[in-house]
Structure 1
């Protein structure tokens, strides 16, 4: 049998909750958005780098690191433009001056004509090969390769590589993301020192 007192209390509480649910509450105004302020404060405490972290073999190395609270030499003020740098890159070679070199991609089993204004990585990707890379700026070793024929400096021109030292270059190692051919050679991809 149902207890009438318990049933009455349950119905009363249920109705009270339903009424309170549909009543308008006190007005709510959102607080000021402090997201930008928090991000700016956090950004001031983090040192700057010019390269992404994946596959970096020299943790903490890199051109733009600044100690916390320090000022970077040559750092631009807000709104200031960087002076134009005069650099010549093999990528800037005009189409009418381009030379093609036969590069044998040993592990892929094919020889490809690579223009001297195209990187070895780009040429491999044009062939549909899934070659390794991370930064595409010559600041990691993910895209490393090995020139079988000898000193890499005789066969490729690196445009801005910062990871390989003279001995590694002499042993034939290249960073395919910034390596432009100078002649014909054989290349083993996915090889790092």
Structure 2
């Protein structure tokens, strides 16, 4: 009797579920998307300024610093003379056919690869398919830092195009920022090591 009752109730619930599935509902309609209107009203409420837009300031976003003056506008120290134009000392500007090649041993990756003097240590590792740590790619954090295991000052082995995080003390211990470090000789590198 219990089996017949259970089978009967199961069949009844199944029929109810099937009939509910095939019946027409109230047909839900989505509400109107007002996000664009809200953004336009907010933008209209912000007063206009003469400052250029600050680019993307997220980690790894890059771009110019907030409030930077566009080229040719205004007067400043760099424009009046003395300082070299940005990019003049950038090793990445060296043509590939003129760039020297150095043997860099990546100890944690277990390989020695050839790295051109116009390529950063991070880029060279990524070209090999390695998942090396980084964040800003501009020398403004230590996410990509590494340690030159050959001893001595890191500037004896690499040129940092920009370096806003490592001081002379850390570099004298052999630490480097792989995202902005261009090799100048052969050496051994331990990636993912920070001071």
TM-score tier, shorter chain, comes to 0.5 to 0.7
Tell me how far apart the structure 2 counterparts of residues 183 and 139 of structure 1 sit (CA, whole Å): 24
Tell me how far apart the structure 2 counterparts of residues 91 and 156 of structure 1 sit (CA, whole Å): 13
The 8 Å contact of residues 148 and 172 in structure 1, kept in 2 or not, is answered as yes
Tell me how far apart the structure 2 counterparts of residues 120 and 43 of structure 1 sit (CA, whole Å): 42
Tell me how far apart the structure 2 counterparts of residues 138 and 113 of structure 1 sit (CA, whole Å): 23
Tell me how far apart the structure 2 counterparts of residues 51 and 122 of structure 1 sit (CA, whole Å): 22
Tell me how far apart the structure 2 counterparts of residues 43 and 125 of structure 1 sit (CA, whole Å): 42
Shift of 1:53: 4.6
User: C-alpha root-mean-square deviation of aligned residues, in Å?
Assistant: 3.1
The 8 Å contact of residues 50 and 64 in structure 1, kept in 2 or not, is answered as no
Tell me how far apart the structure 2 counterparts of residues 144 and 180 of structure 1 sit (CA, whole Å): 13
Partner of 1:68: none
Number of corresponding residues: 141
Q: TM-score, normalised by structure 2?
A: 0.62
Partner of 1:102: 103
Is 2:180 aligned against 1:191?
no
Q: TM-score, normalised by structure 1?
A: 0.63
Shift of 1:33: 3.2
* Gap runs ≥5 in structure 1: 1-20, 22-29, 55-62, 66-71
Shift of 1:36: 3.8
Shift of 1:135: 1.1
The 8 Å contact of residues 90 and 159 in structure 1, kept in 2 or not, is answered as yes
Partner of 2:170: 168
Of residues 150, 153, 160 in structure 2, which corresponds to 1:151? 153
* Gap runs ≥5 in structure 2: 1-25, 27-33, 73-78, 80-84
